[in-house]
Structure 1
Amino acid sequence: MHGHGFTDDFRKNFENPETFLNSLLKGGEVIAELGCGTGFYCKYLKDYASKLYCVDAFCPALQEAKKRAPSAIFLCENASRTSIPSHSVDVVLFANSFHDMDNKIEVVNEVKRILKKGGKVIIIDWEKKRTSFGPPEWVRMSEEEYIEYFKGFKLVNKFKPSEYQYGLVFIKND
């Protein structure tokens, strides 16, 4: 992992989910955040979710996430092999995490398995350019790389969560 571990206050200065989640989520949805880390987004997602899965392979991070979204279901699992039931999730979120996952194709296949038909994948990640904080440039992924990984999905929206990041929204076709 690279460039993680920001305090909430520091992170909220440049990446404030309250400014864009309302336009991406309708409420009452089953949401899974894959690679949730310490739960920065879980804290906000809980207000939109009828059920919230917070998944991370680094178990100690989930202890902090539990403080932020106590009603969520926490799974210490690899994003490529979760215990989330098939076709049960309305929205999958990757917030600054997919670029760190080694088995990206397997992760995308797992997203296809857990997501309902017409379900949404929301990606938030760092622009592929050098900044004074965040992951190194060589770790970052371009929008085009995401579009290639999620080619079995339909790209329906692009948004700007911060001046350092981009957001993509895909819909599961089948």
Structure 2
Amino acid sequence: MRHKNPMKFENEKRLKELDIINSLKKAGINENDTICDYGAGTGVFTLEASKLTKGMVYALDMDPSMLSIIKEKAKDVHNIQAIQVEEDKINLESKSIDLFIIVTVIHEIKEVPEFIKEVRRVLKPFGRVLVIDFHKKDTPMGPPANHRMSEYQAARHFFREDIVMKKQCNLGENLYLLLMEKEGE
């Protein structure tokens, strides 16, 4: 999937509402966390996360042009690895991730239950998942309401895989934030 205008992901209003640094702080990043930013886009979360950990930050995306943007932005950053993935796949080792980030992507996943099983597989015990997506209603930005997943729907999918809600909040008129945690094994 190629994006026609990748820089739309960095428009000022969208970035302000995403409140990237505070959203990452809500996820409780530790200095040695290994992080996966799935559907990383232009890397706005990847780059900020890399400043909060000494661990590796994996930027996964299907679009090679997005990964090129990330690689260019991160050319002097040593803890970012950009990886091209196939649709809804996570090419990482089992139990390797402390924090899994999914920003404005969950509504694009075709096989959500299978994808979340993969998320669970790569999470360490007590690993966290940060989901930011569009409210399931018409808003000034984002896909049509019928293409979105509500907070409740998203949380329910994760709960089925023993990934439970820890925090929920609105980031503004367009977006919600969920922080969930994998129950220990």
Q: Would you say 1:158 and 2:168 are equivalent positions?
A: yes
Where does structure 1 lack aligned partners over 5 or more consecutive residues? none
Which one of the candidate residues 142, 149, 157 is aligned to 2:157?
Answer: 149
Higher alpha-carbon deviation: 118-127 or 99-108: 99-108
Deviations 1:83-138 (A, max 9, x none): 21110110001001111111212210111111001100110011111112221111
SS across alignment from 1:20: helix
Contact 1:154 1:172 in 2 (8 A): yes
Which one of the candidate residues 21, 40, 43 is aligned to 1:39?
Answer: 43
Higher alpha-carbon deviation: 7-16 or 128-137: 7-16
Match of 2:67 in 1: 62
Normalising to structure 2: TM-score of the pair? Answer: 0.84
Where does structure 2 lack aligned partners over 5 or more consecutive residues? none
Higher alpha-carbon deviation: 25-34 or 109-118: 25-34
The residue correspondences of 1:12-51 to structure 2 (distance < 5 A) are 12-28=15-31, 29-49=33-53, 50-51=55-56
1:79 Cα deviation (Å)?
6.0
Q: Would you say 1:125 and 2:124 are equivalent positions?
A: no
1:8 Cα deviation (Å)?
4.2
What letter corresponds to residue 63 of structure 2 in structure 1? F
- For 1:134 and 1:156, the matched residues in 2 are separated by 25
- For 2:41 and 2:35, the matched residues in 1 are separated by 15
1:26 Cα deviation (Å)?
2.9
The residue correspondences of 1:55-134 to structure 2 (distance < 5 A) are 55-70=60-75, 71=78, 72-78=80-86, 80-134=88-142
Deviations 1:47-69 (A, max 9, x none): 12311000011121111122333
1:15 Cα deviation (Å)?
2.1
Which one of the candidate residues 14, 18, 24 is aligned to 1:11?
Answer: 14
- For 2:90 and 2:37, the matched residues in 1 are separated by 11
- For 1:69 and 1:137, the matched residues in 2 are separated by 34
What letter corresponds to residue 67 of structure 1 in structure 2? E
Change (3 A) 1:140 1:74: same
Q: Give the % identical residues.
A: 25
- For 1:167 and 1:79, the matched residues in 2 are separated by 23
Contact 1:156 1:170 in 2 (8 A): yes
Normalising to structure 1: TM-score of the pair? Answer: 0.89
